[in-house]
Chain A
Amino acid sequence: MPDKSDPMEMVLQIINSDEPDYEKAQELGPEVVAPLSQLIQGKDVLLAMKAVSLASRIKSEKVVDLLKQAAARPEPEIRVAVAGALGNVPGEQIDNLLNQLLDDKDFGVRKFAIAAFAATRIESAKGKVQSIAKSDPEPFLRNVADYALRGEEPPMDLYLMSTDNKADQ
C-alpha cells in the first residue's frame, strides 16, 4: 500500500495506472508540487507527461510554474500534454504559456494550443490564432484556428484530413 504521507507515492499511485483517474487530483494540493516538478523534469517521458496532466488539476498556485517547466522540455509529447492541460487552468494565468505553445514547431502542440484558446478565449492569444488561420503550413490547423476564432466546434470530418506533414516520428 502506498504511504499516504508520502506525496510522491500519492502521485505515483494515480499516474502509474494505464488510465489514470485525473479527477483524483482534486484531492491534492501544494504537497505534491515538489514530486510533480521532479517527475516533470525527470528522464521518464511517460511519467513527465502524466505528471503534467495531473498537475493541471491540483489546487495550487504553482500549477502554471509546473506547466512552464514542462513546456520547456524538448520532447514534443510532453509539450502536447501541456497544451492539452491548459484548458484546466484559469485563463488569466496562462496567456504567456498559451502564446508560447501557439508558436510551437510541433503540429500536435499547436492543435491543442488552439483548442485551449477556443476554451479560454484569451484575448492576448487571438493574434497568434489569426496568424495560424491565415498562414500555418498545415491546412488542418488553418481550418481549426478559423473555427476557434468564430467560436465554433470544428466538424468531425476536419480531423480526417490527410497531409504529408506529420508529427515528429
Chain B
Amino acid sequence: MPSTRSQSGYLIQSSSGTVGHFELVVPAPCGGLAHYWRNNDASGLPWSGPNSFGSGNWSNVALLQASWGYLEVVGQQGGRLGHFWRDFAWHGPDVFGSGIAGDPAFIQGRFGTPGNFEVVAPLAGGGLTHFFRDNGPLITQPWQGPFNFGSTLAYQGVALIHSRYGNLEIIARRGADLDFYWRNGSRWEGPFTIARGVANGTPAFIQSSFGRVGNFEVIVPRLGGGLAHFWRDNDDPRMPWHGPFPFGTGNISAVSFIQSSFGPGNLELVAREGNRLAFYWRTAGPPWTWNGPFYFAEQTIRLHFKMLFNPTSFTTAQMLDGMRQVYQTAGVRVELVSTEQLSLPALVDTNVGACDWTGPTSQQVALFMNRNGVSPGDLVIYFVRTTVPTLNGCATHPGGQPGAIVTSVASQWTLGHEVGHVLGLGHVGPTDRLMMGGGTWGITNPPPDLDCGEVDFIRGNSLTR
C-alpha cells in the first residue's frame, strides 16, 4: 500500500484492514471535526462515521497516519494551529503558532528518524510559514518555528509534499492563482505561478507514480464550479505544467486526493461541497475519465407527492429544488420517490382547523388516509388548492402518517418549511432562515439557511436516515 503521509490533505489510505481503509477528517457543520472512514475490505465499500472530536470552528485540516500508526491532524482555528492525534481515542489539540489565516498543510516527511512532522500555513499578514517537529527519539518534542517565507503575498490555502527529489514542494492558492514553491536546502524557491484565474478553494497536491520519475498532480476547486486538474511532466527536462483539465460539478470549497492501492494506482478524491462530501475516482490509465460525484455520509429523506391540485406560484419541481438546496447544506438528500394524482374533489380545499398541537381535523385525517402503500418512514406531501383557514401549508398530521399539506399559492420554500415542521423544527425570527415565522415569501438572501441546531435536529430525526 502506498504511503500517503508525505503528502498533505484530509483524505488518506491508512493501514487499517487488509486493503487499507480510506480515512477522512473534515470540519463538522456545527463545530468540531468529523472523522469518516471507508472499509475497503467490505463489499459495497461502505463509509462510516462521523466520529466527532474537537470543538469550535476549524479550517480544512490535514490528516496523516504517522509511521508509528497514529492518525494525526493539524488544522487552524482562530489564527492558531491545533494538532490532534488518535491512538485509540482522539487527543488534543496541542496548540502552536499564531497569525495563521487559511488552511494548513501537514506531512510526515523523510527528514530525521522516524521522519519529522512538517507544517506550512498561510499567514494573516501575507506569505507562508513553516513549522516542524523532530519526532525522534521522543514523539513529544516541541514544534519548532515559525520560519516565514513567501514575502507578503496573501495566501488562503496550501498543499505540501516531500517529493522523490528529496525536497519539500508546495502549491499555494493566492486568490484565483496557484503558486509553486520548493525548498532547496534551507532556502525556499518561488513563487512560480503555474495557473491564473482558475482556483476557488484549497488545492491538493501529490506526486503520483505516473511517468518514470513520478508526475506532480494538482487538483483545485475551479472558479465557476467543479474541479480542475493540472499535472507536471517530471520526465520532461523542462518540467512543463499541463492543464487545467476540468471535471466534476458543484460549488466546491476544498479537495483532497490520493493515489490508492486500487488497480494500478487509481486516483481517489473527496471534495467538499458546502457540508456535502463528494467522492470521485479515476483509473490509472486511459481514458483518464473521472467517475463521480458520489455523495456519501449523507442522510436521506424520502418524499411522495400526492397531487390534488397543481401549484400555481411555483411548480412542484421548483419547490423540490428549493428544498434540496436547503437540506443538502445539512447533509440530507431529498429523494422524490413517487408522484400520484388523486381525484378527491372533496379535499381539494381542506379544512385544517387551527393547524397546531390540537391535532388534525377529520378532513385532514381523511386526506392522510391516502398514503396508498407508502412506507411508514416516508413523508407524503398533499398538494391542495387551499386550506381553510388560509395557510401556505400545514404540517399537522395523524400519528404514524408523517406528511404535510402544501397549497397552490405556496412559496418556493414552503415545502421545505413544512417538512421542517414535520421533523420537529419551530419558527425562528431571522428572515434568511428556512423556518422564519414571518413567512417564506419574505425570505431574504435565498436560499435560506438552517442553523447548526436545526441541522442536528434534522439529522437526528428518524425520518432522515
A residues bordering B, Cβ < 8 Å?
Answer: 13, 16-20, 22-23, 45-46, 49-50, 52-53, 77, 80-81, 83-85, 107-108, 111-112, 115, 138, 140, 144, 153, 156-167, 169
> Smallest Cβ distance from A86 to chain B, in angstroms?
10
Given A19-B392, A22-B389, A167-B309, A80 contacting B343 (CB threshold 8 A): no
Known contacts A153-B362, A167-B348; 15 further A-B pairs (Cβ under 8 A): A16-B438, A16-B442, A17-B439, A18-B411, A22-B389, A23-B354, A46-B392, A77-B408, A108-B385, A138-B345, A144-B346, A156-B365, A157-B366, A161-B345, A166-B345
B347 to A, closest residue via Cβ = A159
> Smallest Cβ distance from B101 to chain A, in angstroms?
37
> Smallest Cβ distance from B394 to chain A, in angstroms?
6
The CB with the most chain A CB atoms within 10 A, among B346, B348, B355, B439, is that of B346
Nearest 4 pairs between A and B by C-beta?
A: A84-B388, A16-B439, A108-B349, A53-B389
Task: Determine which of A19, A160, A166 lies in contact with B393 in the assembled complex, contact meaning CB atoms within 8 Å.
Answer: A19
In Å, the complex CA distance between A28 and B262 comes to 71
- Interface pair A115/B418, CB less than 8 Å apart: no
> Smallest Cβ distance from A136 to chain B, in angstroms?
12
- Interface pair A169/B393, CB less than 8 Å apart: no
Given A80-B388, A166-B348, A167-B349, A46 contacting B362 (CB threshold 8 A): no
B317 in the interface, Cβ–Cβ < 8 Å? no
B310 in the interface, Cβ–Cβ < 8 Å? yes
B residues bordering A, Cβ < 8 Å?
Answer: 309-310, 313, 343-349, 351, 354-355, 362-363, 365-367, 369-370, 385-386, 388-394, 408-411, 414, 417-418, 427, 437-442
Binding site secondary structure of chain A:
helix
Given A53-B390, A77-B385, A167 contacting B439 (CB threshold 8 A): no
In Å, the complex CA distance between A112 and B354 comes to 16
B349 contacts across to A, CB distance below 8 A: 80, 84, 108, 111-112, 167
Given A18-B418, A19-B394, A167-B309, A85 contacting B389 (CB threshold 8 A): yes
> Smallest Cβ distance from B408 to chain A, in angstroms?
7
> Smallest Cβ distance from A33 to chain B, in angstroms?
18
> Smallest Cβ distance from B83 to chain A, in angstroms?
47
In Å, the complex CA distance between A77 and B440 comes to 20
- Interface pair B414/A159, CB less than 8 Å apart: no
In Å, the complex CA distance between A153 and B351 comes to 14
- Interface pair B345/A18, CB less than 8 Å apart: no
